[in-house]
Structure 1
Amino acid sequence: MRDDPSLLNVPMAVGGQSMLSTSNYLARRYGVRAAMPGFIAKKLCPQLVIVKSHFSKYQEVSQTVREILSNYDPLFSSVGLDEAYLDITEYVTELMRGKEEQVPVEGEDRVTQSFGDSSVENTESLKHSLVHQTDTKLIQIDPESSQETDTKLLQIDDPESHSTDMKLQYGSSESLNDTDLHQSDDLVCDSDQCLPNSYWECAERVVNEIRERIHLTTQLTASAGIASNKMLAKIASDMNKPNGQYMIPPSREKILEFIRKLPIRKVSGIGKVTEKMLNALGIVTGADIYDKRGLLRLMFSKCSYDYFMNICLGIGSCTVHSEWERKSISTERTFPDIWKPSELFQKCHKLCYSLTEEVEESNIKGKTVTLKLKTSAFEVKQRSMTFPNPISSFADIHKAARILLESEMKNNSQLKLRLMGTK
């Protein structure tokens, strides 16, 4: 939509007839969703405009956004092309410690804020400063070891809808055992342990600055959520879409009030299936989770129970700068239904070649080759073969994938596929 303004006010989606990767808000009103076949989307919305994806362009814009984010936290945690968590505690702390920082007076329209050596005044001056302010030095804060500061996080979503979604977290959280919802004082930090409200007000201004910089640089809008941990920040980011931001106040009372009224479907990790299961138990909101915690303990595993308890208590992870080791490399493709053996083997060959290139670029080896198949009936199957020693060559990867595919074709003479992947 950014590159073609004619699409701004029409239902549109990105992808093809076989599968869509995303859709804009107008299309979503008709039920058009990501991972939906394009021909089904067309039936739901006959006037839908489907445009091809431009992955190289998404990568370019994503890199631009990451460069902006790195000015606020060089060690930010990126999640795909369009999501990232940032710890900007040190950034805000340094701003508040500076003598030039001025908190706006109630009733005034003018906001003056200093960034480095330059003072920013009013919207136009702010935009000018944001474009040129790219050399801020940041220091990583470890939320688990810091006793004096809270944590801030930021996340971004939905690039194809051209509304880069940012989720900012600011606060600290202590893990709880099975503690009473109405008696626990450890849900969030108390006023004598947390940074003052002025720091949170500054955090809101910083988030607005980040969103402004993204818009000025990429012409993409951004929405943000500010809260005490990653779970709450992610939820908050959906509260003021598109192109807005929302902060859950950093107090125990406000967080619990927010969670009590929150529909469970808003929580990341609770999908349609889990929602139906919980609804069947009379659980619709966060308050219902706590009220029926005894039933949940009997119905679910301890791991799931602890997860539900963390939700109703507003507890989430504050770790941003985690060390992550890649465990696998995969590639997959969606296509119109194919069933001819020659076409299936050709598709397998191309996928194995693409996977080999990624393996060589990453300079890694693996012992297990996995073939992923999705039938025309949307049934997903995965078949694996493990080697005694690590492999990385095309010959070995292709040999294993072909054997797995041949085996599946023998077991199902009517095999018709719409997706194939190798890992």
Structure 2
Amino acid sequence: MNARKIIHIDMDAFYASVEQLDNPELRGKAIAVGGRSKRGVVSAASYEARKFGVKSAMSGAIAQRLCPHLIFVKTRFDRYREISQQIRKIFFEYTDLVEPLSLDEAYLDVTENKKGNPSATLIAEEIRAKIKEKTGLNASAGISINKFVAKIASDYNKPNGQKTVYPEEVETFLQGLEIRKFHGVGKVTAEKMYRFGIFTGYNLKQKSLEFLVENFGKSGTHYYNVVRGIHLSEVKPHRIRKSLGAERTFAENISSEIFMMDRLNDIAEEIERRLTKNKVAGKTVTLKIKYSDFSIQTRSKTLAYFISTKALILEIAKDLLYQEKMKNSVRLLGISLSNLNTDKGKKEEKNQNDDEIYVQLKFDF
């Protein structure tokens, strides 16, 4: 099997960097994009703030305690999207095989590229330089034979750096990593692996396929393959959206269903706007409820037809809300629509035979 040349580009502290770019007074200072209130959440933190332990998805209150001089800035998604589009235009100068993961990161397959450049390493350097020139922002990159390794590598020399993991280095590179560095291995899975003596990629590679499947289910096969550098997922330029939703965290806990309906009305309105913009509809409505004790409950209903209007979404959400009595006061409500009409005709990736031989060929990187 011919090895591919995959680049993972990841913007450095994207939202925070945009704010520092647009407001020179914020440069060199600890800032957090998001809310400072009791229920506020940090969407992004500058590297100056990260030194104090501030990170994304952290509550604003905790972030403020860790870094008393932290400056909070409101999110401006229209501005982030504007710059993201500029960055993607640069990607398409090199290849049409671009798979965006979010506004600030994407995979590029440059095995065959528009510049005729055989070196993915040099292409990554050029792209990062162009991003800096066009937007004033820094990007990091990982380069390797597949998406899994490239994503890990892009985090290796952050910020404003890149790392190439050559074909012949892949297995050695993976074996030397802490298991938490493996993309997709979260805190819970890592703790379970620790109990089995799996602390590094090397430890993982010592485990048989049977052992991993027995203890980690379908993910066991994935872990067995990726630690050997086998990851067959292609760069998909047109990712199929599986769901679309919105949620709100409240400043104060809510216990009245009437107040909850007011919030759900706003959420349904936002979803209708996004469905219209993306020209999609869905059949399954899911209501997400996070209680004051932080426990989460979801309630779903699947219809026989596609819906996309606020009125119908809100009607189903109301039915789900009153489906059973609330066990506690509520701190967050969310609605999502799945089973979208984009799923029609979707093709699943073909699985490779277990006895297929994988050969990593040497080539310019």
In the alignment, the residues of structure 1 paired with residue 122 and residue 114 of structure 2 have an alpha-carbon distance, to the nearest angstrom, of 10
Q: Which residue of 1 aligns with 2:93?
A: 71
Letter in 2 for 1:57: R
Give the match for residue 377 of structure 1: 293
Aligned residue for 2:332, secondary structure, equals strand
Structure 2 distance, partners of 1:295, 1:304, is 12
Q: 2:133 aligned with 1:216, yes or no?
A: yes
Q: Secondary structure at the match of 2:102?
A: coil
**301, 307, 310: which one pairs with 2:225?**
310
Distance 1:9 1:324 in 2: 37
Q: Work out which of the residue numbers 231, 239, 247 in structure 1 matches 2:164.
A: 247
Task: Rate the CA distance shift 1:256–1:366 in 2: closer, same or farther, 3 A.
Answer: closer
- The corresponding residue for 1:119 is none
3-state SS in 1 of match to 2:320: helix
Partners of 2:142 and 2:150 within 8 A in 1 = yes
TM-superposed CA distance for 1:68, in Å, is 0.8
Q: Which residue does the alignment assign to 1:262?
A: 177
Q: Secondary structure at the match of 1:94?
A: coil
TM-score of the superposed pair, with normalisation by structure 2:
0.80
Aligned AA (2:137): L
- How far residue 419 of structure 1 moved from its aligned partner, in angstroms, is 4.2
**Which residue, 245, 262, 269 being the options, matches 1:353?**
269
Shift of 1:229: 0.8
In the other structure, the counterpart of 1:366 is 282
Relative contact order (alpha carbons < 8 A, sep ≥ 6): 1 or 2 greater? 2
C-alpha contact (below 8 Å) 1:351/1:422 kept by paired residues: no
Shift of the 64–407 alpha-carbon distance from structure 1 to 2, 3 Å rule, reads same
Contact 2:281 2:306 in 1 (8 A): yes
Pairwise mapping of residues 156-167 of structure 1 onto structure 2 (< 5 A)?
none
Supply the AA of the counterpart residue of 2:85: Q
Report the residue type matching 1:276 in the other structure. E
For 1:286, give the aligned amino acid: G
One-letter amino acid matched to 1:329: L
Write the letter of the residue equivalent to 2:330.
K
What pairs with 1:173-188 in structure 2 (closer than 5 Å)? none
Partner residue in 2 for 1:88: 110
Structure 2, gaps ≥5 residues long: 1-19, 338-365
Task: Pick the aligned partner of 2:322 from 399, 406, 411.
Answer: 406
1:43 maps to 65
2:197 is aligned with what amino acid?
G
Q: 1:184 is matched with which residue?
A: none
What is the percentage of aligned positions where both structures have the same residue? Answer: 39
Structure 1 residues 403 and 245, CA gap change in structure 2 (3 angstroms):
same
Q: Name the structure 2 match of 1:421.
A: 335
The residue type equivalent to 1:421 in the other structure is I
Aligned to 2:249: 334
Whether the aligned pair in 1 keeps the contact of 2:212 and 2:224 (CA below 8 Å) is no
**Greater gyration radius:** 1
Could you tell me which of 19, 32, 35 is aligned with 2:54? 32
Aligned-partner residue type, residue 8 of structure 1 = R
Q: 1:364 to 1:7 in 2, by over 3 A?
A: closer
Flag structure 1 segments of 5+ consecutive residues without an equivalent.
96-198
Partner Cα separation in structure 2 for residue 350 and residue 37 of structure 1: 23
Tell me the alpha carbon deviations over residues 205-260 of structure 1, each in whole angstroms, 9 at most, x when there is no partner: 22111000000110100111111111110111011110011111221xx2222112
Post-superposition Cα deviations, 1:114-169, rounded to whole Å, max 9, x if no partner, equal: xxxxxxxxxxxxxxxxxxxxxxxxxxxxxxxxxxxxxxxxxxxxxxxxxxxxxxxx
1:341 Cα deviation from its structure 2 partner: 3.8
* Cα distance between partner residues in 1 of 2:286 and 2:131: 39
Which of the numbers 282, 291, 306 marks the counterpart of 1:390?
306
1:318 CA drift (Å): 5.1
1:93 to partner: Cα distance: 7.2
User: Whole-Å Cα distance in 1 between the matches of residues 100 and 332 of structure 2?
Assistant: 30
Which residue of structure 2 aligns with residue 53 of structure 1? 75
Number of equivalent positions: 313
Give, as a single letter, the amino acid of the residue that structure 1 aligns with 2:26: L
Cα deviation, residue 91, structure 1: 2.5
Q: Which amino acid aligns with 2:78?
A: S
Q: Which amino acid aligns with 2:331?
A: L
Change (3 A) 1:285 1:399: same
**Letter paired with 1:3:** D
Root-mean-square deviation (Å): 2.1
Kindly indicate whether the alpha-carbon contact (under 8 Å) linking 2:225 and 2:231 is maintained by their aligned counterparts in 1. Answer: yes
Deviations 1:300-331 (A, max 9, x none): 32x22211111221222351136543333212
What amino acid is aligned across from residue 192 of structure 2 in structure 1? M
